[in-house]
Amino acid sequence: MMFSLSGILCLALHLLPEVKSSMVKLHDNGYEGIVIAINPSVTEDEKLIQNIQKMVTEASTYLFHATKQRVYFRKVSILIPMTWKSKSEYLLPKQESYEQADVIVADPYLKYEDEPYTLQYGQCGEKGQYIHFTPNFLLTDNLAAYGPRGRVFLREWAHLRWGVFNEYNVNRPFYISRRNTIEATRCSTAITGRNVVFNDCQGGSCVTRPCRRDLQTGLYEAKCTFIPDKSQTTKDSIMFMQNLDSVTEFCTKKTHNTEAPNLHNKMCNHRSIWDVVQESEDFQNASPITAMKMPPHPAFSLLKSKQRVVCLVLDKSGSMRAEDRLIRLNQAAELYLIQVIERGSLVGMVVFDSIAKTKNNLTRIGDGNAYQNITGNLPQNASGGTSICSGLKEGFQVITSSNQTTSGSEIILLTDGEDKNISQCFEEVKQSGAIIHTIALGPKAAKELETLSNITGGLRFYANKDINGLIDAFSRISSRSGNISEQAIQLESKILNVKGKTWANGTVSVDSTIGRDTFFVVTWTIQKPQIILQDPKGKQYNTPEFKEHKLNIRSSRFHIPGIAETGTWTYSLLNKQAQPQLLSVTMTTRARNPSVLPIIAVAHMSRNTAQYPSPIIVYARVSQGFMPVLGVNVTATIETEDGYQITLELWDNGAGADTIKNDGIYSRYFMEYNGDGRYSLKVHVQARNHTARRSLRRQNKSLYIPGYVVNGEIVLNPPRPEVKEDLAEAQLEDFSRLTSGGSFTVSGAPPAGNNAPLFPPSKITDLEAEVQGDHVHLSWTAPGSTLDKGKAANYIIRISKCFQDLQHDFDNAAVVNTSGLTPKEAGSKETFVFNPELFKVENDTNFYIAIQANNEANLTSEVSNIPPAIRFFVPQDSSIPALGISAISLAIWGLVMILSAALPAAAAVSGVKTRSPPPPRLSLRPLRGNNSCGGGAGAASRRLPPPTAPRAPRPGSVAAPPPPR
């Protein structure tokens, strides 16, 4: 049977919470807990705080009216960096941190990149990660180009909170509509304007001319720009141009432009912005406030970050004797104290079994022998029961006894034991304001452990039998202040099962953004191996230069002097024992200098919990500053409680689980469940053969408006600074990064081997169609048999002159014979050529194509995106003038426009006026061919014969549906 589970899949993805920890709550129609954090590198400026407050206050009013009097901003916290001077009005934060902020204020990596944007890579309706404003945007008058800052904030809030997308497309600014008119990609189509090409721009003066048709595509030439009229009457849409005075609403089902080739239509299946917003959890219990005409002003709290305070709370109960857990705890904790924790941090330590005991009060890391004083007190004997609450309370005592507050302090809690009484201290933990990171060691750690992380905004990890799981967890717990240059970066973490009397070899890349404070660490299970470490210039470091801890915790480290050499480091380890043993290799470093931001990798799952059979998504973000890094190999390793490992190659191809191609977000569906319990995630990033590059491409940034049409003349805004191509698309050297993505919990899953295909192939979202001669050339990325894994069984391609037929009645559209088309492996590039005999491919013929994929279980994917296929020919002497957007026709022949240019330079903010003579009177006529659609009624009455019916079309041709009954 033909059966699609896409609706169930979408529901499952939508209902479960995202992994990003946000403190925002909607209470009585007002948003509370919003955190706006300023990066420590931003220069202190009181005006910055004032402008943030003004922006949010303006946005609250816009938000209230745009949501039809449903929601507004009530309570907002502004997190001041520790680098700014203290003031009496600044309060201490609790769980608020830069790392978990909803809005961040930070300088861009390149000084020209000031457009506001939201980091958003989830599916339709899923929350984004954060909004990014630059100080320059907040301190400079950008009114002409972006509109009031309050409107910009509202637009970005819609991205962040409700998971909607842009209604413009800088890569496809125009499209040919079903009425055979060229339209600007926008919503709604009621927004009017002119289409021009800017020529000969010198200083503040430009000459414009009308846009010409491209002879290949039928669209306007590449340099054509849509300039909106300054005066509009339409109220929508905020997600297209929030800067127009009349625009105060989102597109609704009535006004939505389903044809526009924008990201919102692609991601949200052509639904309107307002339809998606109304489905969010915020609007389920938020009725309009009819009695309130204007919302109250938001209340602001100014919070100032403090120095980092961390207390280790470590389990030493009797179960820690098993599987060398106590040894592994010591190895990982020592690495954290020496290599990971930032200099100047205050660190204390508590150990617990049935009772808790303070081993170290808060000690400043970097002062004298602080490392030795703490590591010397790591627990050496395991005995007793497990009382997690006792450990936490003792940790709070360590913090407060050193004249520090638990608010904003961090506790790293590691335990392997069960504790039925852990819930008794949940409320005390919540009231403390502390952030609790939890590490579950082994499968029997208390099942409620992760609740402590969830209620405090902390990280959560699971480590199994080898040392690397613990090392990876500790390495990920870095400062939450936003000071990336001081954070430890993990380059390697590998476990090696080395046979007796055998060498094991490996390499690690050190790039030019890192190399300060670099450590190479080796651990073993039986006896210390012989170690050889060689830098890129051939200098060797040998076993005697590696230091061991006096407590004999089977770990040896070498601190590379100065700045580590850039290039490939090689290592060789000789297991001197006759029997095999496990050896581990870890390499950590920091940014080379504060002025050059390092390349980093951040990984996480789309949710912290998974209910079988719902799939979840693995995400890895690779970036330098705020710039995406492309062209790297990203591999995720997911490990279950019993040690079973699943390896996934993550893709940035814009297909399957990946939202946008080439945005530095590498993604993949995960559905290979192996029973219930905790699963851990680790991601390895490698750039090889000089294929990596950084990019300025960002789909969700606010649209820069070059100017407006005012009283028939184009008034230009100040030009946007252009970034040199070599800076924007710079090639990067080879590098490697490794990071933990924390843990997630699975329930309801069968044991390994009992997983049947439960999902259809993933939706094809990048189908492209091009007419060449009498044939249509299609290309797309292959989905899998199950979502984005494996190989589909077959494809179903259909064609229609009506967009709506394919969107709403796909099964009854004309079918293309694909018997000669064999699906490739997921992620591969597919191509197919066919002759649409049903439709005579004449000049100006416009029709639409869509595709579905089937798997062996006869499960069918959602209908793909629906691109038009157009054959177009224009005589070489023809051109099309700039017209009001609603009056553009594709059948204007032989018109020549003559432009004049003597234009005065404009002032900085008021812009430049460009003049062109009024267009001559035009006689418009429709295109040849009839592309009118009669809606869904006629299409619904058609019935398609089965593909095996007699007189089937040839492969690559189109079968006509039977006549109506």
Provide the 3-class DSSP secondary structure of residue 534.
strand
- Residue 627 structure tokens: 């710039």
768-871: which CATH architecture? Sandwich (2.60)
Asked if 818 and 776 count as a contact pair (C-beta separation under 8 A), the reply is no
Q: Is the peptide bond before 702 cis (omega within 30 degrees of 0)?
A: no
Written as six digits, the tokens of 389 are 């609450």
pLDDT of residue 431: 94
pLDDT at 588: 97
Residue 902: band (very low, low, confident or very high) from pLDDT cuts 50, 70, 90: very low
With contact defined as beta carbons under 8 Å apart, do 287 and 70 qualify?
Answer: yes
In the prediction, which pLDDT does 921 show? 27
Number of H helices, E strands in the chain: 16, 50
Q: How far is CA 288 from the centre of its chain?
A: 32
Does residue 529 register a pLDDT over 70?
yes
- Residue in this structure with the two tokens 């100080």, named with its chain if needed: 135
Mean pLDDT of 630-638: 97
Among the listed ranges 45-54, 325-334, 753-762, which one has the minimum average pLDDT value?
753-762
Determine the average pLDDT of the residues in 216-241: 93
When pLDDT is averaged across residues 933-939 and rounded to a whole number, the result is 38
* 390-406 confidence digits (pLDDT tens): 999 999 999 999 999 99
pLDDT level of residue 840 (50, 70, 90 thresholds): low
Q: Tell me the one-letter amino acid at 663.
A: D
Structure confidence at residue 838 (pLDDT): 62
- Show the tokens assigned to 689: 């053969």
Residue matched to tokens 């909004």: 131
With a cut of 60, say whether residue 957 has pLDDT above it.
no
Residue 274 tokens, joined? 């307002």
Average pLDDT, the chain: 86
Residue position matching structure tokens 């279980």: 857
pLDDT of residue 930 exceeding 50: no
User: Do 602-697+726-747 and 768-871 fold alike per CATH?
Assistant: yes
Quote the tokens at residue 446. 């208390």
pLDDT > 90: percent of the chain: 68
Question: Cα(547)–Cα(550) distance, rounded to whole angstroms?
Answer: 9
Q: What is the pLDDT of residues 184-207, one digit of tens each?
A: 999 999 999 999 998 877 665 678
Contact 353, 383 (CB under 8 A): yes
For residue 171, give every residue at least 6 positions away whose Cβ sits within 8 Å of its Cβ, in sequence order, or none: none
Per CATH, the number for 307-464 is: 3.40.50.410
pLDDT higher for 635 or 115? 635
φ, ψ of residue 869 to 5 degrees: the values are -120, 120
Write the DSSP assignment of 710-748 as a string of letters.
Answer: ETTEEEEPPPPPPPPHHHHT-B---EEEEEEEEEEEEES
- How far apart, in whole angstroms, are the C-alpha atoms of residue 894 and residue 527? 87
Judged by phi (left if over 0) then psi (alpha if -120 to 50, else beta), residue 894 lies in: left
pLDDT band at residue 829 under the 50/70/90 scheme:
very high
Note the CATH number of domain 484-594: 2.60.120.380
pLDDT digits (tens, 9 = 90+) for 692-744: 998 876 656 788 888 999 998 898 888 777 766 556 678 899 999 999 999 99
At 724 the pLDDT is 63
Q: Are 584 and 523 in contact (CB under 8 A)?
A: yes
- Greatest Cα pair distance, the chain, in angstroms, is 94
Predicted pLDDT at 7: 42
Nearest to 586 by CA among 469, 457, 468: 468
Give CA–CA dist 816/865, Å, rounded: 16
Q: Which residues are catalytic?
A: 156
Paired tokens of 458: 């902390």
Residue ranges per domain, the chain?
Answer: 25-166+280-304, 174-236, 307-464, 484-594, 602-697+726-747, 768-871
What are 269-299's pLDDT values in tens digits?
Answer: 999 999 999 999 999 888 999 888 899 999 9
Distance between first and last Cα of the chain: 25
Q: How is the beta sheet containing 775-781 ordered, strand by strand?
A: 768-772, 775-781, 829-834
User: What pTM, to 2 d.p., does this model score?
Assistant: 0.88
Distance CA 889, CA 886 (A): 9
Residue 804's pLDDT band (boundaries 50, 70, 90)?
Answer: confident
Query: How many whole angstroms from its chain centre is CA 138?
Result: 24
Contacts of 489 (CB under 8 A, 6+ apart): 514, 588, 589, 590, 591, 598, 600, 737
Task: Please state whether the peptide bond connecting residue 953 to the residue before it is cis, i.e. omega within 30 degrees of 0.
Answer: no
550 pLDDT tier (thresholds 50, 70, 90): confident
Residue count of the chain: 965
Could you count the other beta carbons within 10 Å of the beta carbon of residue 755? Answer: 16
pLDDT at 133 over 90: yes
Query: Which residue did the predictor score with more confidence, 766 or 949?
Result: 766
Q: What value does the mean pLDDT take over residues 888-908? A: 29
Quick: pLDDT tens for 91-132.
999 999 999 999 999 998 776 678 899 999 989 999 999 999
At residue 920 the predicted structure's pLDDT band, cuts being 50, 70 and 90, is very low
29 with 71: CB under 8 angstroms? yes
Query: Does position 843 have pLDDT exceeding 80, yes or no?
Result: no
Q: Which amino acid is at 841?
A: V
Contact 432, 316 (CB under 8 A): no
Res. 955: pLDDT tops 80: no
Burial of residue 36 (number of CB atoms within 10 Å: 0-12, 13-18, 19+)? buried
| Beta-strand relationship, 460-463 and 435-441 | parallel
Q: At a CB cut-off of 8 Å and minimum separation 6, what does 925 contact?
A: 889, 891
Place of tokens 């061991």: 548
Q: Are 645 and 697 in contact (CB under 8 A)?
A: no
Split at pLDDT 50, 70, 90, the class of 809 is very high
Residues 116 and 138: their CA atoms lie apart, in Å, by: 10
- Is 70 exceeded by the pLDDT of residue 927? no
590-615 per-position pLDDT tens digit: 999 988 899 999 999 999 999 988 88
Nearest Cα residue to 582 out of 602, 615, 554, 621: 554
* Two structure tokens written together for 723: 């970034």
Residue with tokens 């303070």: 358
Higher pLDDT, 23 or 313: 313
Residues 208-222, mean pLDDT to the nearest whole number: 88
Residue with tokens 């955190």: 35
CB atoms inside a 10 Å sphere around CB 645? 12
Helical H segments across 318-368, by residue range? 325-335
803 vs 790: CA distance, rounded Å: 30
Contacting residues for 610 by C-beta, under 8 A, at least 6 apart: 16, 616, 673, 744, 745, 746, 747
Cα gap 912→396, rounded to integer Å: 62
pLDDT classification of 530: cutoffs 50, 70, 90: very high
Residue 754 has pLDDT above 80, yes or no: no
Architecture, CATH, for domain 602-697+726-747: Sandwich (2.60)
579-588, 725-734, 787-796: which range is least confident on average? 725-734
**Quick check: 692 and 630 in contact, CB under 8 A?**
yes
Q: Token pair for residue 780? A: 């797309």
